[in-house]
Structures are given as structure tokens and as C-alpha cells.
Amino acid sequence: MSVPTRSVALVTLGCTRNDVDSEELAGRLSAEGWTLVDDAAEADVAVVNTCGFIEQAKKDSIDAILEANDLREHGRTQKVVAVGCLAERYGKELADELPEADAVLGFDSYADMSSHLRAVLDGHAPEAHTPGDRRRLLPISPVERDASELSVPGHGAGDLPRARLDDKPWAPLKIASGCDRRCAFCAIPAFRGAFVSRRPSDVVAEGRWLATQGVRELFLVSENSTSYGKDLGDLDLLEQVLPELTTIEGIERVRVSYLQPAEIRPGLLRAMASTEGVVPWYDISFQHASGPLLRRMRRFGDTDSFLGLIEGIRERQPEAGIRSNVIVGFPGETEEDVAELERFLVGARLDVVGVFGYSDEDGTEGELLTDKIDPDVIATRVDRLTRLVEELTAQRAEERIGQVVEVLVEDVDEESGEVSGRAAHQGPDVDGVTLLTGALEGVEIGAFVAAEVVGTEGIDLVAEVLA
Ligand code: SF4
């Protein structure tokens, strides 16, 4: 007698690193006989892959769990399981406060997710874990790393299945997980753990597989790509892996995310600029520009060193897209610090800047600082910086009018006829898009189209397809 298949839906919140984890969980579950469905209402189990990054992300994750819980009344859904960063970070505490979730499972459960879900369906929910500080895994020398069982959350060693949960022509490809830095505002290292690189052979193998699935652009993700290889005893490993990825048949673009300014090496910048297929796109996590404030944040650099870095990139690649995030309202931030950040932003002419207001994160050094900034002052500074950034990034987009861009088509709206995609300097999801005009017949998702920029809408470009 055949065992009836059980169905599962993955609801993913947060960043592209979570997207990869969901696709890998989907691959494992599918290999174990689960039927994957898109709609949580059609699934026996809804697995909500949560984000635990900032307050709003936590709230969105909890809302998604509550929504999945509501499906029990109307849909097929019998069980709701929380995984991901929020689950890892709060474990038992989350389980106690959120009885709507039948189970709360941390990263260590990923390797055996199928049996956990079967147990949950059979009414035997595994105990939620008590979160520990995953930084205790430090330090990992290359020798220890070789002998250790450590794996990247969502990725074990070797050849693991991954199932695609969308049909976009780009896909995130995780190269590492965790972070060894100690930024005072950030809780990521405490729950993502020490920095662990995936082996180049695994990364390249997954890149090849993604190419067979129609992916044209690989988006390399991690918490800190500049550290790639250090735990494998080779700090130049990213420079060596990039040419291997760009020569995979079907892959036209490789995009490297999250560069840590303190760790950017001239050799890496040279390799990124000179490896054909690596897009001229630099995602540099500046966070602030005032030297004294950066030191309080436990970070390096200042306005002048950052401007020098940007100048070096633009000398080689004037068309490069450069994006960053900044935090305002960190404890002790003065008006002078804010003015210094403005000086940097005006000088840097970045393509995209995310402005975030500081909020205390559990278990961080920032939480313990006493000279907190009033929330109203933080909101005012966020507003002020956001307005400045909107003006500067719109100007930067306008500077591209007249340039020819290569657009990866990502969206073709049959009804409106609108076709859009991303130029090389535009990263996925948050960097704006390029709206194509002109001869659009036969243009399909996944195609590369050359177009001349004829206008802008904020950071979005409008470009006319070239004959
Ligand atoms: S480098 Fe990034 S992930 Fe690591 S502690 Fe700093 S902000 Fe957090």
C-alpha cells in the first residue's frame, strides 16, 4: 500500500539568504517524498521561514504565522511550523508566546526537517530549542574547520538538493553564513553564528544546477562576502571562484553582495572589475561615515577613506552601481556626526542608500549603551537623511541618461504590455528597475536586451530598446 504524500508550503520572509534556505528545505522535503505547493492553504503543513532582523521584520514574521494559523479553519492546513532567524533567535520563548505555531525549529533542525514535520503532523511536536550564543563556535581555524562538522545553516557539506520556488531568471547562491565581526548594533552573529564558508566545489556545483534551471544571473549572498575563504585558509578564494562561476554555461552575470569596507582588498576589487561576467555593482556596508561614531559602532573607516574607496572603484568602472545602508540615531550620535554622514553621502553619489533608524537589538552591545537618542530625534534624522538620499540617488540615475545598458528582462505584463528588468548596476529587489520601451515584441523573461536610457523615475530608469 502506498503511503499518501504529504504536502508542504514554504512561506518565506526576510532576505535572499532566507530565500536560499527555503529552496534548500524545499529540495530536501521533495527528495523525502513531500509534495511542494505554493499556496499555504493547499498544504498539510505551512512552514514559515521567519526573519529576526529588525522590529518590523519580526512583526511581519509573526503576522505570517498568525495568517497561516487562520488557514486551519478554511484550508487544508493542519499544522504551522516556524523556522528561520526569528525561530533560531528566540526558540522556546517564541514557542511559549506563540501557541499558534505547532513547532518552532532552529537551524540545527534543517538537516532532518522531513522527520520533524512528520512528527508534527502526527501530533508529536519536537521541543523548541533554548537559543544559545552561536558565537561560542569561535574561533575556527582552517584546521579545526576541516575536522569540524560545522555546516552553513541550510547547507550541509556535499551535494544537496535544492528546489526552485520561483522561476525568476536570477537566483541567490549562498557562499557563506554567519559573521565574525562585532558591530555593536547587530545581533546577526549571535544567532547566525561564526563565519563559515561553503566549499568552492559546492558553490560552483549549485551554480551549475541553477543554470540548468534557467537562471542567468547568480547573486552571491552571505553576511560578509569579503571574508569568503578565510575559514578555509585562503582569503583570496572569492577571486578564484568568480571566474569559475562566470564561465558556467548559461550564466551571464555574477553579482557579489555584501562587501565589508574594513575587509575590502585591492585584489578583490581588481578581480571583480576584470572578471568578465561579474557585474560592476558594489554593495558596500558603510553604515555611517563619522569616524568617532563608527568606532562606537565597533567599525572602521571614515568619510575620507570611504570616498577614496569609491573613487578607486569609479576610476576602473565609472558606470559601476554602488549601494549601501546607513543607520542613524545610534547611541551617542551628535548633530556633527549626522552632518558628517551628509557630507559623505553628498560626496559619494551612491546609486541606492537604505536609511535605517537605530533600534536596540536584544543581546547587542548597543543595547547596553546609556546615551540613547530620543526616538523622535531618530525619526527626524531618518526623514532628513531619506529626503537627501532620494534627491541624490535620483540625480545619480539622471546621470545615466544617454548611456546604453544591458537589461535582464524579469517581468513581462501581458495585460499592460509593460516590460521591465534590471541593468547591470541594479541589484535584485531593492535597487530599482529599468522599464523598457520601444520594440518589445517577442521579448521574453530571461532575455538580455540592450537599451538606451531616455529617462528616470526616482532610481528607476526608462530605456528604449536598441534595434
Ligand atoms: S558585519 Fe554585518 S552581519 Fe556582521 S556584525 Fe557587522 S552588521 Fe552584523
Annotated binding site for [4Fe-4S] cluster: 15, 51, 85, 179, 183, 186
Query: What are the tens digits of pLDDT across the range 186-231?
Result: 998 988 888 999 999 999 999 999 999 999 999 999 999 999 999 9
Q: Give yes or no for a contact between 197 and 179, defined as CB atoms under 8 angstroms apart.
A: no
Residue 419 to residue 408: CA distance in whole angstroms: 11
Annotated binding site: 15, 51, 85, 179, 183, 186
Torsion of Cα atoms, 237 then 243 then 247 then 251, to 10°: 80
Protein residue with its CA nearest to atom 1 in ligand 1:
181
Residue type, 164: R
| 298 CA closest ligand 1 atom index | 6
- Does residue 142 register a pLDDT over 60? no
The gap from C-alpha 207 to its chain's centroid, in whole angstroms, comes to 17
pLDDT band for 138, please (50, 70, 90 cuts): very low
pLDDT reported for residue 1: 46
Q: Which of 131, 71, 75 is nearest to 100 (CA)?
A: 71
Measured CA to CA in angstroms, residue 33 lies from 36, 83, 158, 183 at distances of 9, 20, 21, 42
Provide CB contacts within 8 A for 361, sequence distance 6+: 54, 185, 186, 187, 367
The gap from C-alpha 215 to its chain's centroid, in whole angstroms, comes to 17
Q: Which of 146-155, 177-186, 359-368 has the lowest mean pLDDT?
A: 146-155
Provide mean pLDDT across the span 100-115.
93
Strands 448-457 and 404-412: antiparallel
Outline where DSSP puts E strands in 23-169.
Answer: 35-36, 45-50, 79-83, 103-104
CA of 188 to the centre of ligand 1 (A): 7
Residue 59 to residue 461: CA distance in whole angstroms: 33
